[in-house]
Amino acid sequence: MSKLATALTRVRRLRSGRHVLLLGSTLALGSTLVLGLVLAGCAGSGRHSGSASAGSSPGASLPAADPAAPSRGGSALNAPCKQWSCAPDRVIELGGGYSVRLWSSATPTGTPTPDRSTPVLQLLQNGQHRQWWVGRSGFGWSAKLDCLPARAAVPAQCAVLAEVGSHAGSAELVLLRSGALVGSPQATVSFDGGRPMAADLDHDGWLDVLGTENDYQPNYATGHNYWATYRFTDGILLRTGCVLRRTMTQPPPDQLLTGECPAVFTS
């Protein structure tokens, strides 16, 4: 056998301890010149690295890039509220393999801009992270989540209820559409009497919102409080009416109201 043939079949050990088959052409290792060309098939023997996880874009309300492939990116390390030391609450089932949970921020103890901590939802599919959703308003440490699972032609939906400021509150309805949580400014309402509530007051399968308003006559401290109800229809929360709330222990209405509302918030 010629020297060239011997070189073509020689197996050399590289410094990394990995064996490669050296073929014709030349390869320099340190100061030693040897004959060889790494066999092309060796390149295919390694393990391919995966792509980055999708569906975990902080601060966004978009689904995973591949709607059929939930990711594993839903941990406290990449939650949009991680700077507020948020933690997940219980999981609420929405039907069809989907579920959702609220992430609550830690109560601030001197945070300079606590208003930035708004409620955060995590959508799961078969127990795997799919999407982050970030609320438009409300304190992230005082939020509550009420949901209804999908039923007939009505999609799964949730009401994100939170306190705002010293005595106000907000409600935002979020729907599960095409594997993603979606909301709109038209499905958001605010109250000046604390955190509102949600219930299906007209039994149409959609969550409605009820909360307390004040007529500021002559000011908030001594003004009159009113219950106000909002019905969700065509993607919009529309106020249906009000009734005087004589005491703070008065139970909330169990149906949509139709009475007159204080002039302070009807203009």
Q: What is the pLDDT of residue 167?
A: 85
- Alpha carbons within 13 angstroms on the beta-carbon side of residue 218 total 0
Tokens 């406290």 belong to 76
Widest CA span in the chain: 109
Question: Positive or negative, the Cα torsion across 158, 159, 162, 164?
Answer: positive
CA angle 129, 199, 163 (to 5 degrees): 70
Q: 151 to each of 148, 202, 206, 240, how far by Cα in Å? A: 8, 15, 10, 24
pLDDT bracket for residue 263 (50, 70, 90): confident
The answer to whether residues 61 and 172 touch, using CB atoms and an 8 Å cutoff, is no
10 versus 89: the higher-pLDDT residue is 89
Average the pLDDT over 218-231 and give the result.
94
Tokens 């019905």 belong to 231
| Residue 108 DSSP SS3 | coil
Mean pLDDT of the chain: 77
pTM equals 0.72
Is pLDDT above 90 for 226?
Answer: yes
Residue spans of the domains in the chain: they are: 3-43, 82-265
The sheet that has 120-125: what strands, in order across it?
87-95, 98-104, 120-125, 128-134
**Cα gap 263→213, rounded to integer Å:** 11
The pLDDT tens digits for 19-45 are 333 333 333 333 333 323 333 333 333
| Residue 66 DSSP SS3 | coil
% of the chain exceeding 70 in pLDDT: 68
Question: Positive or negative, the Cα torsion across 33, 35, 37, 38?
Answer: negative
The pLDDT tens digits for 90-125 are 999 999 999 999 999 988 766 555 567 899 999 999
For residue 1, the one-letter residue type is M
